[in-house]
Amino acid sequence: MRNLVQATPARILAARMMDATKSALIIFEGTSVPHYIIYRCGRYRCYPHRPKAQLCTRCHTLGPREDVCPLPHTTRLCPVCSLDITNLTPTTTHDCVPKCRLCKGSHASTSTDCPTRQQADALMAQQAKKRIQALRTKHTSGH
């Protein structure tokens, strides 16, 4: 990532890879994001980062990812009604009425329309904005 700082005309304050993805999180100086950057002879499109709260695909709660979920690896919940379907055979059906495990609303736990999930997403965005502002302040004060 060090080469990235030197290869683009936009001033980069920090850059890091995002976990095991092929995406990088780049913090630019100022409030605008350039459309493209040049890195190792390639031209890459830049998009503003909008952090989202992580929803575990196993327990349908906010916070843990599936790889660190407290539920046993064999546990399966229905993605629509959150019913424990671990012991159901693949051909067995169940009375499936959408019910959110987060807010108890009449939508799937995985729905982006869930007000609890939207609040968590807004909080994540607010925390990210504070971290970026702190980083920009640190760089402009010369520390």
Please tell me the predicted confidence (pLDDT) of residue 5: 52
Please tell me the predicted confidence (pLDDT) of residue 115: 95
| Structural tokens at position 21 | 């993805």
Contact 85, 77 (CB under 8 A): yes
Please tell me the predicted confidence (pLDDT) of residue 131: 82
Q: Which residues lie closer than 8 Å to 56 by C-beta, 6 or more apart? A: 62, 63, 64, 65, 66, 69
Tell me the whole-structure pTM to 2 decimals: 0.64
| C-alpha 78, offset from chain centre | 22
Please tell me the predicted confidence (pLDDT) of residue 8: 60
Which parts of the chain have pLDDT scores under 70? 1-9, 142-143
Please tell me the predicted confidence (pLDDT) of residue 142: 62
Please tell me the predicted confidence (pLDDT) of residue 15: 86
| C-alpha 138, offset from chain centre | 25
